[in-house]
Amino acid sequence: MKQHTLRRLAALFLILCLAFSGCSQPQEAAQTPHAADPLPDGLTYALQVAVAYDSTCDMAAPQDVAELLEQSTLLGLTTELVNLEEVSDLSQYDLVIPAAALANSPNIAAYEALLIAYTEAGGYVLLDNAFAPLFSADYLGIREVVPLTGCPVELTFPTVEEDLQPLQTLVEDFSGLYPDFYDYDVLSQQDYGYGFVPDAAEPLAMWGELALYTYRAYGEGAVLLTNPLLPNVYSLGNFSMTRRTGEETAFSATTTSCNQLFYSGVATLAAKKQFGYALNRVYGYNGSPSMSWELHYEEMTGIAHNSMKLFYDLCEEYHQIPSYTLIRSSYWWFLRTETVTYLLNQSDDGMDFAMDWEESAYSSGTHIACNDQWLQINSIEDAGSYFREYPEYDYRAYPAFGAIQGKEMLVSGSEDGYFYAYEILEYSDRLHVREPSLLTDADGYPLQVAGYSAPQLVDLNGDGRMDLLSGSSDGGIYWFAGDPNGHFTPQGLLFTTDLPGQSLPCVGDFNGDGTVDLAVGSDSGVLLVYYGQNIDGTVSFDHSRMSSLSRLCADAELGQWLAPGQVDWNGDGYQDLVVGLFEGYLAIFLNDGQGGFAFNGYITLDEQNYKGNDRAKFGTYAVPAFYDLDGDGALDLVCGSLEYGLAYPIDSPYFPERAALEAQVDFAEAHHLYVGIHHYSNAGASEAREAYELERHLEAFEAYGLPTEGIGANLHTWYSSNLGDTQTFDSEYAAGLLWNSGFSPAYDTGVAPQYAAENVIALPFFLQKDGEGTLLVQDNSVLPYVDSAWTDLSGEYRMPVCIYYHCDFVYESDLGARDYLQKVSDFQWKFGYNFVREDQLMAASAEALALTVDAKTQNGALTIAAKDDTSVGVEVQFSQDHSAAAFAVDADVWYQRGNSLFVSLNRPVTLTAGEPSQTAHLTQVNLPADITLLSNGAEIAFEADGMLQVVVEGDAVAASAGWDVETRDGKTIFTKYGEADTLSLRFSKETDG
């Protein structure tokens, strides 16, 4: 890896505060008898891989392969891009991978001869499917090459030798997941090249009578022939997360990991043939992989009810430790509220509006402050989730402005038919209004229409006082005469519109005759303009002076909800219409001054909304109005709607749960818990908006005293921006964040990652940018949301596991949480994972990716040492000719799984051929520690805080106080929460191992 990446890793290790928790011993795979032959003696472990190309190749593809190998799961690997036009001898390499594009090179015959000679002399070659019809059938060991029609799934897998089984199993697992990819209908239509009729080659996978993967021993070496199914370029699967053709489906962690594992697996095969073993990374401390909770903490009532602490208490019962990521704008989940928000006009002489990035998670507007909280009227609970519109939830605020008794007022209608009057107080940090009162008649009785009041303030009777007119749920237009005391006398029906549902009025002068006109929208796709008549000072309306804009609206596909507001949009002196729509958009109709209107698109902003377009988007059932809120002489855009969530920035002075959240942050600090960034982005977010959002998020963390260094992020509702392949990750890295632990990639329109086949196998990697590693990428797991067929794959591939969950509602009931906690515990014990905090998991993965080792055999012993101080371990995977059980292990922490030994590398380790040790020993220490083995016990001095855990194979007792002890399946587990501490333990008796 590049030096820049290593420097970043070093910074990561220094910054991250480590405190880990452990798990049980792995369940051992079924044992296959192995020979007890000694390893080849006198060999120093190292492999060199050449990714071959020439001047005819586009370098993106070979660079992708090289990057997959540079972060290989196999240790000791050196990768080099090699131009075949400049070499005549490949003998220095253990494995050669020719770029697929070389199949089109005019020099292909010379390259074939070079590769054949290389293989004969003992080299390994991994060949792309494209070479099958071009290379010698004898060299490939096949009799016939047959073009494939269709996508090869439902494969069969013949019996092969043990060293080939990991590659075979990988193809089997990937081919099983592939049809469940969201875009499989696209993927299945791609070109899957050729199948082969095998001859001397050994088939690894068959599709009907044709082999898709073959292994051909040739001379002293071997050649493997592949299929485009895997490695796969149709589903985006590289470490740059960047499309090469533009035709790839969205990034898939499963594809990327399986591509990586395939290349690593072929190199592992070459290592086993040469050394008798291969060394693989373990993404966790002291030889066991890591898992952690990833708790998205965001919901207002969860914060109010102390759900952070409640879930922590549950975790202690299950010997787990929680990790949280905190939202910047907390909200009420499922709540939809009638609100009025606004956007200030950015122009002195026109109409120019910009999105309010501070408060626009679920709408486009700035909230109005009323009694130190956001203005809100009536709400619907349990009204669906975020980022969706539901026609059945049809509450809305309906704003109008005017003077009543000399006071500027905002009057809003509501679903309940009343009229809510807010006295405008001031504009400072935002618009402030007084607590509402209901408009009443002279006797103090609240005014009301049948439902869905839709007020306008206008002098209808010419007495110089504001009157009130209103639409209603029955389609009528009603009016109320204003009196000198600010009351309104009901006058009954002003006129009938014949609309079948709501009538949505807006007053204006649309023909320029000086008399009040009335635009009337509806919830039935009808928009009418009534031109008023002034008879003896009183304005009246009838159908004889009416025109319809309904056809214009239908042609523009604006939908059923049409709520008009009036403003001279283009400055030509004519009052135009801005029409609120169900989706929250605002459509523009320009007045030609001759009684005609023309649709002119939508109000657009400088930033795309979460739907991925540039329209101003408020809540559903939008109702626009225009008023100079800040006194600068320019009309501002005000909009009533039904808003989802009523979100508050957590560092806003108006945030209602500041004290509760501060107490929980203090609890997290006192209990050594991780709190990271739950980053809000969306499909249309610009780089500038993401930078702003992350800057404000970090400022909010600072306001609560939360750490802003050594932390990472995951994405709210998983959305990342579609404006660039890796824009969101680049934004996070630029903000100083170190990893992302949960996301849906750019251009993804599929299922959420916790349910996705594309996410079942997700190994960590550093995102590659211009040849350098940047953000550590580790998407969240499918555990515990899918059945064990998929979750077990995650465990079998020893990937780090980040477990997404919303603990917000645990205060209501812990039954669902307990079910998940148990499933997570079962997985932990089944596969032998260390349970740690999220930051600890990421630090362990980063350390594993940076690990380099020296390994050599001498006098029947294998010695392995990390080149730098480390707390991670290594898997020693033996070839089919050697038995893991035939080695005595000198390591502080170790265990056997299948034909592999997993050992800690906190100090040099020696594996000696001969009688293995049968005494009790440490199998897991879940975080960095200074470990001292004693004659009949051990002392483990933990170097970090959090949850501390040690697992012993056999019986053991603690000589230190305060440790919880349990036994399971012949193992003894010691657990403690809190600051770093030392565990002294004694192996109480010898065991059978």
> What is the spatial distance between Cα 885 and Cα 34, in angstroms, rounded to a whole number?
9
In the structure encoding, which two tokens stand for residue 496, read together? Answer: 């009938």
Instruction: Quickly list DSSP for 946-989.
Output: EEEEEEEES--EESSTT-EEEEETTEEEEEEEES--EEEEE--S
Residue type for position 101: A
Which residues constitute the domain of residue 705?
290-331+649-831
Domain assignment of residue 34, yes or no: no
Give the list of residues 6+ apart from residue 10 with CB closer than 8 angstroms, or none. none
Residue 11 has pLDDT above 90, yes or no: no
Domain assignment of residue 809, yes or no: yes
Whether 881 and 814 have beta carbons less than 8 Å apart is answered as no
> What is the spatial distance between Cα 968 and Cα 963, in angstroms, rounded to a whole number?
16
| Residues 640 and 659 both lie in one domain | no
Residue 974 has pLDDT above 80, yes or no: yes
pLDDT of residue 597: 98
| Residues 702 and 559 both lie in one domain | no
- pLDDT tens for each residue of 793-841: 999 999 999 999 999 999 999 999 999 999 999 999 999 999 999 999 9
What average pLDDT does range 314-340 have in this prediction? 98
The CATH number that applies at residue 525 is: 2.115.10
> What is the spatial distance between Cα 862 and Cα 921, in angstroms, rounded to a whole number?
20
Domain assignment of residue 884, yes or no: yes
| Residues 616 and 745 both lie in one domain | no
Supply the DSSP symbol for 528: E
The confidence band for 989, taking pLDDT boundaries of 50, 70 and 90, is low
- pLDDT tens for each residue of 541-561: 999 999 999 999 999 999 999
| Residues 694 and 678 both lie in one domain | yes
Instruction: State the SS3 of 413-458.
Output: ECCCCEEEEEEEEEECCCEEECCCEECECCCCCECECCCCCEEEEE
Give the list of residues 6+ apart from residue 826 with CB closer than 8 angstroms, or none. none
Residue type for position 539: V
pLDDT of residue 12: 47
> What is the spatial distance between Cα 668 and Cα 674, in angstroms, rounded to a whole number?
7
Residue 474 has pLDDT above 50, yes or no: yes
Could you give the dihedral angle defined by the CA atoms of residues 73, 78, 79 and 83, in that order, rounded to the nearest 10 degrees?
A: -160
- pLDDT tens for each residue of 95-124: 999 999 999 999 999 999 999 999 999 999
> What is the spatial distance between Cα 537 and Cα 545, in angstroms, rounded to a whole number?
18
pLDDT of residue 919: 84
Point out the domain boundary residue: 831, 859, 887: 831
In the structure encoding, which two tokens stand for residue 224, read together? Answer: 């493997």
Helical pair 253-275 and 165-177, crossing angle rounded to 10 deg = 170
In the structure encoding, which two tokens stand for residue 125, read together? Answer: 């070659």
| Residues 374 and 502 both lie in one domain | yes
| Residues 230 and 375 both lie in one domain | no
CB atoms within 10 A of CB 795: 22
Point out the domain boundary residue: 615, 645, 675: 645
What average pLDDT does range 378-404 have in this prediction? 96
Domain assignment of residue 3, yes or no: no
| Residues 701 and 569 both lie in one domain | no
pLDDT of residue 32: 55
| Bridge partners, residue 843, by sequence | none
Whether 910 and 895 have beta carbons less than 8 Å apart is answered as no
| Residues 301 and 417 both lie in one domain | no
For the chain, the domain total comes to 4
In the structure encoding, which two tokens stand for residue 593, read together? Answer: 């001054």
Q: Give start and end residues of each alpha helix (H) in 518-572.
A: 550-555
> What is the spatial distance between Cα 537 and Cα 419, in angstroms, rounded to a whole number?
26
Give the list of residues 6+ apart from residue 368 with CB closer than 8 angstroms, or none. 340, 341, 342, 374, 375, 410, 422, 430, 431, 432, 433
Point out the domain boundary residue: 803, 831, 859: 831
In the structure encoding, which two tokens stand for residue 952, read together? Answer: 């012993």
| Residues 719 and 819 both lie in one domain | yes
- pLDDT tens for each residue of 172-185: 999 999 999 999 99
In the structure encoding, which two tokens stand for residue 811, read together? Answer: 């205060």
Residue whose pair of structure tokens reads 């001759």 in the numeric block:
594
Please report the sign of the dihedral spanned by the C-alpha atoms of residue 832, residue 836, residue 842, residue 846: negative
Domain assignment of residue 855, yes or no: yes
Domain assignment of residue 5, yes or no: no
Residue 392 has pLDDT above 90, yes or no: yes
- pLDDT tens for each residue of 666-717: 999 999 999 999 999 999 999 999 999 999 999 999 999 999 999 999 999 9
Please report the sign of the dihedral spanned by the C-alpha atoms of residue 141, residue 144, residue 148, residue 153: negative
Residue 778 has pLDDT above 90, yes or no: yes
Find the angle CA(680)-CA(681)-CA(687) to the nearest 5 degrees: 130
In the structure encoding, which two tokens stand for residue 559, read together? Answer: 């939908």
Residue 65 has pLDDT above 80, yes or no: yes
> What is the spatial distance between Cα 728 and Cα 713, in angstroms, rounded to a whole number?
11
- pLDDT tens for each residue of 141-168: 999 999 999 999 999 999 999 999 999 9
Domain assignment of residue 926, yes or no: yes
| Residues 311 and 219 both lie in one domain | no
The CATH number that applies at residue 73 is: 3.40.50.880
> What is the spatial distance between Cα 43 and Cα 858, in angstroms, rounded to a whole number?
8
Burial class (CB in 10 A: 0-12, 13-18, 19+), 969: exposed
The CATH number that applies at residue 323 is: 3.20.20.370
| Residues 325 and 219 both lie in one domain | no
Domain assignment of residue 164, yes or no: yes
| Residues 875 and 811 both lie in one domain | no
